[in-house]
Amino acid sequence: MAIRKVGVVGCGLMGSGIAQVAAAAGFETVVREVTAELLDKGLKSIEKNLNRLAEKGTITEAVKGEIRGRLKGTTKVEELKDCDVIVEAIIEQLAAKRELFGALDVICQTSTIFASNTSSLTITEIANATKRPQRFVGLHFFNPVPMMKLVEVVRTIATEPAVYEEIVAFGARLGKTPVRAHDTTGFIVNRLLVPYLLDAIRALEEGVGSIEDLDNSMKLGCGHPMGPLTLLDFVGLDTTYYISQIMFDEFKERRFAAPPLLKRMVLAGWNGRKSGRGFYDYSDPQNPRAMKF
């Protein structure tokens, strides 16, 4: 099957990035959000990204126009009915994802391949809300999607090998390096990243170093683009807390357990960059200041 038309459900941080890369890779792309306001916000962020690329000369104005021309926003799930692949990037809640895919299963042609961008939920448990678990995969992108070169392609025990290979190739056509993962909680990246991030919080709790020193150590000592506490603020403390709970529930290992400080910061609403405060204070976004605990 040739993939021509891509559907993306959710036009938030991840969905808008996925829609952008799909349209930029030459696919006719339809992105769906629940309300016109959320859709408008997502499309504006794509517009901003494309303008930045054009200003830098990475793409020409003509190419920008072509990408825009391939991208359509909608609030109607029915408009996804003739897509060859649908990538879901909605709220990270099992019930919401199952409900969405149950509805898409009825609307879409039987050949459509379904993919979830979930970072921590079990793909098999989402897939079994449909009658096509053999045409269901995980397609996990990284934030910011247009910049990060990786996509994890996840197969379940029910995924048909030919469908899986098609989606691995699709990941490459999106300009990403696909890695092959099984449907184990956290896949590859979060299996390794989450214990590292949680350990950085534990190190802070134990007085191993200050926020700036922990971050600078990994940035300058190991060449990471962001230190772990900056990365936690970037990913979202609420998101990391949620993922850690799912991983701890699955593996029952201390390395996946949320440190008390993370829980308290989430309870206080200090969710990182998006809430203006996390391990750093973002009142002046260009000049974040480390918090004092």
Note the residues at the interface with ligand 3HC (CB under 6 A). Answer: 49, 52, 56, 119, 142-144, 146-148, 190, 225-226, 231, 235
CB of 148 to ligand 3HC, least distance (A): 6
What residues have CB less than 8 Å from 53, skipping those under 6 apart? 59, 64
CB of 209 to ligand 3HC, least distance (A): 20
Answer yes or no: are the C-beta atoms of 20 and 49 closer than 8 Å: yes
Given the residues 49, 116, 120, 190, the one annotated as active site: 190
CB of 3 to ligand 3HC, least distance (A): 24
Nearer to ligand 3HC, 207 or 223 (CB): 223
Given the residues 152, 166, 244, 271, the one annotated as active site: 152
Q: Is 119 a catalytic residue?
A: yes
Given the residues 117, 140, 166, 244, the one annotated as active site: 140
How far CA 225 is from CA of 14, 215, 232, in Å, comes to 20, 10, 13
Q: Is the dihedral of CA 10, 14, 252, 153 positive or negative?
A: positive
Nearer to ligand 3HC, 73 or 227 (CB): 227
Residue whose beta carbon is closest to ligand 3HC: 119
The Cα 142–Cα 272 span in angstroms is 17
CB of 68 to ligand 3HC, least distance (A): 16
Answer yes or no: are the C-beta atoms of 15 and 90 closer than 8 Å: yes
Q: Is 190 a catalytic residue?
A: yes
Strands 150-155 and 136-140: antiparallel
Q: Which residues are catalytic?
A: 119, 140, 152, 190
